[in-house]
């Protein structure tokens, strides 16, 4: 993928749900020095707490790109956003998108970018061809983050776990599988844009053979329990061949988000199903711990919930943003609690 031009202006379109802005939140939290502000349509009800800058304001602050910070259901880029994108192009900004709809499918954007001499960057799409998965065991260690639902912390957990492993002397690499992760890491494969037959193969390419003591931390996508995205999750899991999985969960959710007829299973059942699926390509896979988005719980409720899940599952339970992941790192590295 060509290098993205920084810093970024984050575009929120007409977002109505905070979880739709996970791309913007990820860039704000994991590469804050690369972000100058946010911009949106007047109808948007979501903010990520950054200075509100128009494309002209951002260009005056030497911004290089307007990044679409929304990851909406289906990944469609609405026509109503096009005037703002044209405004950004007019002020010399590249447009960076991780949506399924290609920027290049809008002739007016293509012509404007050509005239102004800027780029339309569809980071979700690649011309690279991937093989079918082989299932052959590769050297090196792999940890996959998996979830009970979408948009509840798989990327944050993978990034935080990578940093925690490095902090304790382990060799670790974050392997990005979604558009936000790719923008943060600078490389990766948008796994949900790969043709279904080649998802496992793409995951094998993403995490090749490595040193025996090296850890690839693979960003999870979707959920085995999601009626739309379970296929992506399963292919990624098979190709990743994880030695460890970390289950990510939001305790406030009882059903799949936006799908009230699809209940989230009890955590014990979720773990059992993920381990059964992962054993197809790695019979030795184990649960390293549970990563919780505890933002809805006060300190007392979080302590009680954490203890309850630890007793039930027999593994460390952590929040990467509330105490860190050292207990899970200890489990993975096989050392006493760090």
Residue-wise pLDDT for 114-156, tens only, equals 999 999 999 888 778 999 999 999 999 999 999 999 989 999 9
Assign residue 274 the CATH number of its domain: 3.40.50.300
- Contact between residue 274 and residue 146 where contact means Cβ atoms under 8 Å apart: yes
The answer to whether residues 147 and 80 belong to one domain is no
| Residue 75: pLDDT over 80 | no
- Contact between residue 123 and residue 1 where contact means Cβ atoms under 8 Å apart: yes
| Residue 337: pLDDT over 60 | no
Task: Report the candidate in 286, 291, 324 with the shortest Cα–Cα distance to residue 305.
Answer: 291
Please give the pLDDT value at position 192: 87
The answer to whether residues 147 and 202 belong to one domain is yes
Phi then psi dihedrals of residue 96, to 5 deg: -120, 125
Instruction: Classify residue 2: in a domain, yes or no.
Output: no
Task: Report the candidate in 197, 198, 172, 195 with the shortest Cα–Cα distance to residue 185.
Answer: 172
Instruction: Classify residue 136: in a domain, yes or no.
Output: no
* Sequence-separated (6 or more) residues with CB below 8 Å from residue 73: 258
The answer to whether residues 234 and 296 belong to one domain is yes
Instruction: Classify residue 221: in a domain, yes or no.
Output: yes
Domain boundary among 67, 89, 122: 122
Phi then psi dihedrals of residue 205, to 5 deg: -65, -40
Of the chain, the percentage scoring pLDDT greater than 90 comes to 82
The answer to whether residues 249 and 113 belong to one domain is no
Domain boundary among 95, 122, 149: 122
Domain that holds residue 58: 8-122
Please give the pLDDT value at position 73: 61
Instruction: Classify residue 303: in a domain, yes or no.
Output: yes
The answer to whether residues 235 and 300 belong to one domain is yes
In this structure, of 23-27, 165-169, 212-216, 235-239, the range with the lowest mean pLDDT score is: 23-27
The answer to whether residues 97 and 194 belong to one domain is no
What is the 3-class SS of the chain, one letter each residue?
Answer: CCCCCCCEEEECCCCCCHHHHHHHHHHHHHCHHHEEEEECCCCCCCCCCCCECCHHHHHHCCCCEEEECCCCHHHCCCHHHHHHHHHHHHCCCEEEECCCCCHHHCHHHHHHHHHHCCCEEECCCCCCCCCCCCCCCCCCEEEEEEECCCCCCHHHHHHHHHHHHHHCCCEEEEECCCHHHHHHHCCCCCHHHCCHHHHHHHHHHHCCCCCCCEEEEECCCCCCCCCCCHHHHHHHHHHHCCCEEEEEECCCCCEECCEEEEECCCHHHHHHHHHHHHCCCCCCCEEEEEEECCCCCCHHHHHHHHHHHHHHHCCCEECCCCCCCHHHHHHHHCCCCC
The answer to whether residues 109 and 214 belong to one domain is no
State the Cα–Cα distance between residues 277 and 286, nearest whole angstrom. 12
Residue-wise pLDDT for 228-267, tens only, equals 999 999 999 999 999 999 999 999 999 999 999 999 999 9
Please give the pLDDT value at position 280: 97
CA dihedral 282, 287, 291, 297 (to 10 degrees): 140
CA angle 51/21/63 to nearest 5° reads 40
Instruction: Classify residue 146: in a domain, yes or no.
Output: yes
The answer to whether residues 199 and 87 belong to one domain is no
- Contact between residue 82 and residue 92 where contact means Cβ atoms under 8 Å apart: no
The answer to whether residues 237 and 103 belong to one domain is no
Assign residue 13 the CATH number of its domain: 3.40.50.720
Instruction: Classify residue 21: in a domain, yes or no.
Output: yes
- Contact between residue 174 and residue 250 where contact means Cβ atoms under 8 Å apart: no
Residue-wise pLDDT for 262-314, tens only, equals 999 999 999 999 999 999 999 999 999 999 999 999 999 999 999 999 999 99
The answer to whether residues 147 and 118 belong to one domain is no
Domain boundary among 93, 122, 151: 122
**Residue bearing the bigger pLDDT, 26 or 250:** 250
Instruction: Classify residue 135: in a domain, yes or no.
Output: no
The answer to whether residues 161 and 302 belong to one domain is yes
The number of distinct structural domains making up the chain is 2
Instruction: Classify residue 219: in a domain, yes or no.
Output: yes
Please, which pLDDT band fits residue 16 given cuts at 50, 70 and 90?
A: confident
State the Cα–Cα distance between residues 185 and 335, nearest whole angstrom. 28
- Contact between residue 241 and residue 281 where contact means Cβ atoms under 8 Å apart: yes
């Amino acid at each position: 993928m060509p290098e993205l031009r920084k810093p970024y202006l984050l575009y929120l379109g007409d977002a109505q749900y905070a979880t739709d802005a996970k791309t913007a939140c990820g860039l704000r939290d994991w590469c804050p020095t690369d972000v100058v502000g946010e911009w949106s349509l007047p109808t948007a009800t979501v903010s990520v707490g950054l200075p509100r800058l128009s494309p002209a304001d951002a260009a005056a602050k030497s911004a290089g790109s307007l990044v679409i910070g929304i990851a909406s259901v289906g990944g469609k880029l609405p026509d109503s956003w096009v005037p703002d994108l044209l405004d950004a192009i007019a002020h010399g900004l590249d447009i960076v998108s991780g949506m399924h709809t290609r920027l290049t499918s809008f002739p007016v954007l293509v012509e404007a970018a050509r005239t102004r001499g800027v780029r339309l960057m569809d980071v979700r799409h690649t011309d690279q061809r991937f093989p079918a998965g082989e299932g052959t065991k590769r050297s090196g260690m792999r940890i996959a983050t998996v979830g009970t639902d979408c948009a509840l912390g798989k990327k944050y957990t993978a990034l935080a776990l990578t940093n925690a492993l490095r902090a304790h002397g382990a060799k670790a690499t974050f392997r990005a599988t979604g558009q936000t992760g790719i923008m943060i890491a600078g490389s990766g494969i948008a796994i949900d844009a790969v043709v279904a037959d080649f998802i496992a193969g793409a995951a094998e390419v993403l995490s090749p053979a490595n040193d025996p003591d090296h850890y690839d931390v693979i960003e999870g996508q979707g959920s085995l329990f999601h009626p739309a995205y379970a296929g992506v999750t399963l292919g990624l899991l098979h190709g990743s061949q994880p030695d460890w999985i970390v289950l990510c969960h939001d305790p406030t959710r009882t059903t799949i988000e936006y799908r009230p007829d699809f209940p989230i299973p009890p955590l014990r059942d979720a773990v059992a199903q993920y381990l059964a699926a992962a054993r197809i390509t790695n019979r030795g896979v184990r649960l390293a711990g549970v990563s919780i988005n505890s933002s809805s719980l006060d300190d007392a409720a979080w302590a009680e919930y954490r203890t309850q899940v630890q007793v039930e599952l027999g593994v460390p339970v952590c929040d990467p943003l509330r105490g860190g992941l050292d207990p899970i790192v200890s489990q993975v590295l096989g050392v006493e609690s760090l």
